[in-house]
Amino acid sequence: MARWDIFCSVVDNYGDIGVTWRLARQLVAEQGHAVRLWVDELPAFVRLCPGASSGADCQYHAGVEVRRWSQPFPSVEPADVVIEAFACQLPTTYIAAMSGDAVKRLWLNLEYLSAEDWVAGCHALPSPQAGGLQKFFFFPGFTQGTGGLLRETDLLARRRAFQADPMAQQAFLEGLGVARDPGARLVSLFAYENAGLANWLDAMAGDSRATQLLVPQGKVLVDLQRWLGETQLIPGDQRRCGSLHVQVLPFVAQDDYDRLLWCCDFNAVRGEDSFVRAQWAGRPLLWHIYPQEEGAHWDKLEAFLALYCVDLSPRAAAAQAELWRAWNAGRGMNDAWSEALECWPELSGHAERWCARQAAQADLATALEQFYRNWLSYAA
């Protein structure tokens, strides 16, 4: 057993802490390590782990020691493996402690997920640091030569069992206050603010088939309220417009969000954590990528589409790509959604095949563990 420190500076509410919390839990449960998770915004963590406290400096959940990352930083002994998630800056006193003794420690910068070609070439590269230290860049990814994706060992077995059990799905949805409409397409929506939502809602409201749209609390509620002509929607609120039935859900813990994705026929997700979890659901999905300055996010979006669409027919690949482009551009969702529905059987089958292809690669926690073992052998 090794001691691991994971540092998380919350930038986008839930994406950063979502990834690091999942990783910390998996390193404890499957690799048997002792993990401290340092978080600078505990209220965001509490949303993902409802039993947590936003006021505690130290608390334990799922075997993980969760610590408040405060200023000044407390005097602690650095761990054997140190992960700075998403280029956050380690406390200067912590770095000084790492360089102040003869103990060899593995320092990793866990990078954001990207499908761009250059990722494999930069994965695991070292970077010399002051004080004789060395830091390695660790890139999650979708191809060989990267760090893979977060996936618990039993995740897909649990997902398949749940999706094969209608009673389990019904009980879960009822626990959220959802009664499934017979024959309706069940869709989940978790997104940033998006000017294209109104156009998509118009399309679903005017569709010949009913759509039941489940919307967990989040930023996109502002646009939903505007479309409905309302000032405030709260969990439990339901509205009907044409063929569209909208229901607002509470923000749920990570394991329950997984189940929500597994229940749905189609999942609109955002950022990084929910994006990966939607792929493990084996259902068609729509990704709202985190917008970056100067449109840098478009390169990431197109790089993923190039990988994801490679085995689709030309029409289905075009439908998939145009739907994602329309959503991220905030316009043209009506026509894009209509074309995607025309390709629904192929897109549904492809989502499951993509999931299986990604599952054939080592998951992120396993890749980190193997990298650590290899580093130990080299360092010795």
Q: What is the pLDDT of residues 88-126, one digit of tens each?
A: 999 999 999 999 888 899 999 999 999 999 999 999 999
Q: How confident is the model over 208-230, as pLDDT tens digits?
A: 999 999 999 999 999 999 999 99
CA distances from 55 to 15, 45, 49, 353 (A): 21, 11, 14, 44
**pLDDT value at residue 333:** 98
- State CA 44 to chain mean position distance: 14
pLDDT number for residue 12: 67
Using left for φ > 0, alpha for ψ between -120 and 50, and beta otherwise, residue 30 falls in: alpha
Sign of the torsion angle spanned by Cα atoms 305, 350, 261, 326: positive
Residue 378's pLDDT is 85
Tens of pLDDT along 18-60?
999 999 999 999 999 999 999 999 999 999 998 999 999 999 9
pLDDT at residue 81, as a whole number: 98
Domain ranges for the chain, please list them.
3-149+362-379, 155-359
CATH number of 3-149+362-379: 3.40.50
Domain 155-359 CATH (choose: 3.40.640.10, 3.20.20.140, 3.75.10.10, 3.40.50.2000): 3.40.50.2000
Entry field: residues in the chain: 380
C-alpha 307 chain-centroid distance? 18
Average pLDDT score, the chain = 96
Query: What angle, 0 to 180 degrees and rounded to 10, lies between the N-to-C axes of helices 254-263 and 166-175?
Result: 130
Backbone phi, psi, residue 61, to 5°: -145, 130
Domains 3-149+362-379 and 155-359 share a fold: yes
Give me the phi and psi of 294, to 5 degrees please: 60, 25
Contact 42, 13 (CB under 8 A): no
- Scanning the structure block, which residue is given the tokens 């320092």? 107
- Is the pLDDT at 62 greater than 80? The verdict is yes
Q: What is the mean pLDDT of residues 189-207?
A: 97
Is residue 203 within 8 A of residue 338, CB to CB? The reply is yes
Residue from 368, 358, 352 nearest 160 by CA: 352
Of the candidates 43, 86, 74, 79, the residue with the CA atom closest to the CA atom of residue 64: 79
What 8-state DSSP symbol labels residue 183?
A: T
pLDDT at residue 100, rounded to an integer? 81
Measured CA to CA, the distance from residue 147 to residue 26 in angstroms comes to 15
What are the tens digits of pLDDT across the range 236-274?
999 999 999 999 999 999 999 999 999 999 999 998 999
Burial of 359: CB neighbours in 10 Å, binned 0-12, 13-18, 19+: middle
Predicted pLDDT at 114:
95
Distance CA 290, CA 279 (A): 17
pLDDT given for residue 360 in this prediction? 97
Q: Provide the pLDDT for residue 124.
A: 96
Query: pLDDT, tens digit, for every residue of 266-304?
Result: 999 998 999 999 999 999 999 999 888 888 899 999 999
Q: What is the mean pLDDT of residues 123-144?
A: 95
Nearest to 73, CA basis, from 55, 53, 96, 52: 96
Helix %, strand %, coil % of the chain (to 5): 45, 20, 40
Q: What backbone torsions phi and psi does residue 138 show, to the nearest 5 degrees? A: -120, 115
Q: Which positions are annotated as active-site residues?
A: 16, 272
- Closest listed residue to residue 354, CA positions, set 317, 309, 289: 309
pLDDT digits (tens, 9 = 90+) for 161-174: 999 999 999 999 99
